Structure 1
């Protein structure tokens, strides 16, 4: 536990610092804010790839979805927790630099800048804190020795993150009208729907198949707190998926750049 937590606590800040420094050499004309924002997105993609691969390994290894165990399901939660703490700080850092650029923040970090960040990013911060404060104890202690398969399923929810990050990076590079950006938009929609929305019915279906229940009866067969946890997890995903769909409609319905300029 402590070794894994230490690895995560060093890995993500270390990667972030290395990216910021490297971008200073690769793109010296970029501002510190631009380098910080891009570095945060690159590190986010690295973590998402690690989580997805961990989840796939666990899912393929657990034939019994309730009782089979895999060490990655138990250990990666500490990597994820250290990433969530790191990510809250990087989100604040990005927010502070953007606010400074717009003349909306003090020259030094202050309580007011923290409050501004929490107001703007309250859903994402709440999501991260929920994982740290609620899901981590549940995944490590309260579930006992059951459900590594379902923990692996939750890890794969990160599959869409590299595509989301790539979309933001392309916008940062002024490539929002490129074919790559439009193709990436389709991949965001597909991966987000499969691994953050359809994932939950899939978990109910796999459990029902093992115990011989139709999917619609599974919620009445499992502990109530499992349904509550799933509801709390899927609620923000549905909200974010709605936002992604709205952005996709705007992206694919607008005319090409030169026509818009006319």
Structure 2
């Protein structure tokens, strides 16, 4: 079994970087984007959308095949996708750094040594880097080797959290193309707040409630009933999701306030012009 999982991990470590390179090529040749910084940023986001789509489909398949027995039902796709998807977390850190470095070069219109951008990148993205490393080196090993065949249903639920990722990445792509004033950007922001909350925050109390219903106990008893590493994992992952949600909400509120201020200034200016005309 372990050699198969290793081959799946190797396949994933090839698949995600190749997907990134293919997206970069297509953006340059087919879409006509010549900026290396834009190519890198958009290719990174498109690869993230691809991973999110695969994870969500796998999560849905696992949940629908294991809902009849929340704790002991098994699904072959759990270990398969966990092994295949593990390298994505490490790839994504590299892709984010490549995007950050290209952006820095584009802003200064010069070739910059990677030594000058690496530490600032770590400082700026320390939250998501920490998340990715914890998932790769703590979450995946626990999911693959320390569950004793239990909880496939709940891992399927965890994979379903990726349903919000396409909307988050679309927001970044629209921002990259200076479309923050478009209706699509505003609608997508509203969808992010809704879907992110449902898929990445509410999913944890829901899974606890499902477990409590199955065991006929109160839901707040669940964290003390399940293995400690499961409680710790849910706490850490849920904590990251909550922090990101607050960050999204603050950023969107600032954008709303800025837009409202611009509209007020336009109205005042139009009013002044009207008075002069009169």
Shift of 1:257: 6.7
- Aligned mates of 1:168, 1:60 — CA distance in 2: 32
Shift of 1:260: 6.1
Unaligned 5+ segments in structure 1 are: none
Shift of 1:24: 1.1
* Secondary structure of residue in 2 paired with 1:102: helix
Unaligned 5+ segments in structure 2 are: 270-278
Matched, 1:75 2:75: no
Partner of 2:98: 93
- For residue 144 of structure 1, the aligned residue among 148, 163, 173 is 148
Partner of 1:162: 166
- Aligned mates of 2:27, 2:169 — CA distance in 1: 17
Partner of 1:211: 215
CA contact (8 A) 2:79 2:144 kept: yes
Matched, 1:174 2:178: yes
Shift of 1:136: 1.1
Partner of 1:24: 28
TM-score (ref. length: structure 1): 0.93
The Cα RMSD (Å) is 2.0
Partner of 2:202: 198
- For residue 57 of structure 1, the aligned residue among 57, 61, 77 is 61
Q: How many pairs align?
A: 261
- Aligned mates of 1:29, 1:223 — CA distance in 2: 50
Matched, 1:3 2:7: yes
TM-score (ref. length: structure 2): 0.88
- For residue 124 of structure 2, the aligned residue among 116, 120, 126 is 120
CA contact (8 A) 1:177 1:256 kept: no
State which structure, 1 or 2, has the greater radius of gyration over its C-alpha atoms.
Answer: 2
